Amino acid sequence: MRIELRLSGTGGQGLITAGIILAEAALLDGKLAVQSQSYGPEARGGSSKAEVIISDQAIHFSKVTKPDILLAMSQEAMNKYSGDLGPDSVIVTDSLFVSKIPAHEGKVYELPITHTAKNELGRALFSNIVALGALYKLTKVVSYEALEKAVLNRVPKGTEEKNKKALAAGIAMVD
């Protein structure tokens, strides 16, 4: 078992945090995980990319070369980080920000991630956790228990219930 995920978007959307949470959930499940990132000099805005590789075998090379999942939460990230997709790669987009999707043979999920975070949780801030819920439902790469625990370990005290709701909203988004 080995899965490579690339979570991309704009700096400030919390995608590096989402990548860390996913990797920590994998460790809680007893798997191995490597997380890496690239980012521009801007703390906010600019493209941001977090990559996570989860496997039950040793992971040496830390960068994603054949993404099983590409999450794109901005049009710029969609364009910039989709060059190495294969026919089996799954594209997940935030439909609020991504309107043009490059020609792709595989599956594409256009999900209202940020829209849902705003409408159901009151703040766009929760969009990364909503996205994690959706990725969980699509891949089952980590167990729900581990994911929820990893989320709650990382989020500020007092926001636990909202974050659980965010996960549930993400899960509900995927049929």
Partner 1 sequence: MSRILLLQGNQAVVEGAIAAGVKFFGGYPITPSTEVAESLAEKLPLVGGKFIQMEDEIASMGAIIGASLTGKKVMTATSGPGFSLKQELIGYACAAEVPMVIVNVQRVGPSTGQPTSPSQGDIMQARWGTHGDHWLIALTPASVPECFELTLRAYALSEKYRTPVILLMDEVIGHMREKIELPDNYDEIPKAERKRPACAPADYKAYADVDGDGVPPMADFGNGYRWHVTGLVHDETGFPKGTPGATVAAADRQYHKIYDNLDDIVQVDEYRMEDAEYAIVAFGGGARTAYETVDMARAKGIKVGLVRPITIWPFAEAQMAALADKVKGILVHELNCGQYVLEVERAVAGKCPVCSYAKYDNEPATPAQLLAALEKSLAL
Tell me which residues touch partner 1 (CB under 8 A).
20, 23-24, 27, 32-41, 58-63, 65
> Between residues 121 and 151, which has the closer beta carbon with respect to partner 1?
151
> Between residues 85 and 124, which has the closer beta carbon with respect to partner 1?
85
Q: Minimum distance between the CB of residue 96 and partner 1, rounded to whole angstroms?
A: 28
Q: Minimum distance between the CB of residue 79 and partner 1, rounded to whole angstroms?
A: 18
Give me the amino acid identity at 47.
S
Query: For the chain, first and last CA: distance in Å?
Result: 24
> Between residues 55 and 139, which has the closer beta carbon with respect to partner 1?
55
Q: Minimum distance between the CB of residue 128 and partner 1, rounded to whole angstroms?
A: 16
Bridge partner list, 103: none
| Burial category of 24 from C-beta neighbours within 10 Å (exposed 0-12, middle 13-18, buried 19 and up) | buried
| CB distance 17 to 6 below 8 Å | no
